[in-house]
Structure 1
């Protein structure tokens, strides 16, 4: 069994989803908005054994308090369907035209929303699926520590060796995407990730070299990392699935 731990499943064609599930695949489906949260709830009800449902609001999305509260209400009203909280995190992209001071203020505001969802995760004893980029871990880690969240997933994370070591020391996970086939520097970082914190993701429908991402792509990611670590593909698959179960608290 293989798990694509971070996927925007509402955007994956059903034939692609069915093909992946037919090969005993599982998917960590993360919401970005209230609309996607509702779509994912319906998919979870349709494929209860194959989807790990995460509900949250993507930090790069503009949303008002009504929308935030609507997603929170969905979390509580569908608690029995949930595997975690996400996608949540710190705004990072689309800030190039901002000054450093403006960026800091935006990230602080994002931290406030992140904390609201982290508090819910702690209350419900659920793992979190995070959008936190580079040095922004220093906004997120104090919040995780405050609520005693262990084993958070930093999806598609890339950062310094020091930050990687810090995440490893604190027992968190990092998921690797097919971006390793697009950017060599990302692949070099992925090679450094300790195997006991490694997960894999498609981040579908993100495009890779012009090709729309889909869950089946995680097979190629695992094969490339297995070759680097001089492991049999099956051996690395087992390591990743063991990590996935630990992350999902199974």
Structure 2
């Protein structure tokens, strides 16, 4: 593998299948983070013939916040994760827009985390959304034991320096994208995270844009090069190490 995109939404692309197939030809792996349980089932079927794609079962907090998903979807995801090794996108978003649904979000994430803990699987991985909520996310991961038993990845980490330190101590992983490297805080976080916990992602596609394979590859390459420059290390060697690590996590 040349690169592995550890957080992408193929199901939200205009032609995710074409992107996945071209990525396979070009040696790029993809973790497709679903945003609803129904989306997970659809993606499982759509990308079943793509050996470079792994699909995670998720319920994005935004979909809870706006009422698109509710208790039935939480129940569905809790059942799915009992035998699903890859979980995401899940998590919490306490930004102003989504704060009114804080209680529902916490209940949902706690339910899913407990379901994972009650049904341990080798190689389980979670890709986690945590906006203004990293401490609460960590509380739940620690209370359920998931932080010790699973690979817990903070996607596009934007918390405080204290929260980052806590996540690092807990052994969490961090997937870095171009948006994170566009801020001074994000660049500093990318510099100090232990290399053996570093991953790459695109979080593609951006809203209301035509985003396909060419854009995905370019963004992964540019993010990888910027990350190497920030960390003062050889770009090709860093990209190779991150790709190997990511492929191992996804069993690619």
Q: One fold, TM greater than 0.5?
A: yes
**Contact 1:118/1:128, CA 8 A, preserved across alignment:** no
**Contact 1:133/1:159, CA 8 A, preserved across alignment:** yes
Question: How far apart are the structure 1 equivalents of 2:204 and 2:223?
Answer: 14
Question: How far apart are the structure 1 equivalents of 2:39 and 2:93?
Answer: 19
1:75, CA displacement in angstroms? 4.4
1:56-95 matches, cutoff 5 A: 56-62=58-64, 63-75=69-81, 79=83, 82-93=84-95, 95=97
1:15-164 matches, cutoff 5 A: 15-47=18-50, 49-62=51-64, 63-75=69-81, 79=83, 82-93=84-95, 95=97, 103=99, 106-122=101-117, 123-125=119-121, 126-134=124-132, 136-150=133-147, 151-164=151-164
Q: CA RMSD in A?
A: 2.7
1:182, CA displacement in angstroms? 4.3
Instruction: Describe the superposition over 1:35-76 as per-residue Cα deviations: whole angstroms up to 9, x where unpaired.
Output: 3212211133121x2112210210111322223333444445
Q: Secondary structure at the match of 1:128?
A: strand
Which segments of 5 or more consecutive residues in structure 2 lack a partner in the other structure? none
**Contact 2:40/2:55, CA 8 A, preserved across alignment:** no
Cα separation, partners in 2 of 1:162 and 1:249, compared to 1, 3 Å? farther
1:19, CA displacement in angstroms? 2.2
Higher relative contact order (CA 8 A, sep 6+): 2
1:16, CA displacement in angstroms? 2.7
**Contact 2:156/2:180, CA 8 A, preserved across alignment:** no
**1:167 and 2:164 are equivalent in the alignment:** no
Please, which moves more after superposition, 179-188 or 149-158? 179-188
Q: Secondary structure at the match of 2:146?
A: coil
Q: Secondary structure at the match of 2:145?
A: coil
Question: How far apart are the structure 1 equivalents of 2:92 and 2:246?
Answer: 23
Question: How far apart are the structure 2 equivalents of 1:84 and 1:68?
Answer: 16
Cα separation, partners in 2 of 1:242 and 1:167, compared to 1, 3 Å? farther
Cα separation, partners in 2 of 1:160 and 1:246, compared to 1, 3 Å? farther
1:99 maps to what in 2?
A: none
Which segments of 5 or more consecutive residues in structure 1 lack a partner in the other structure? 97-102
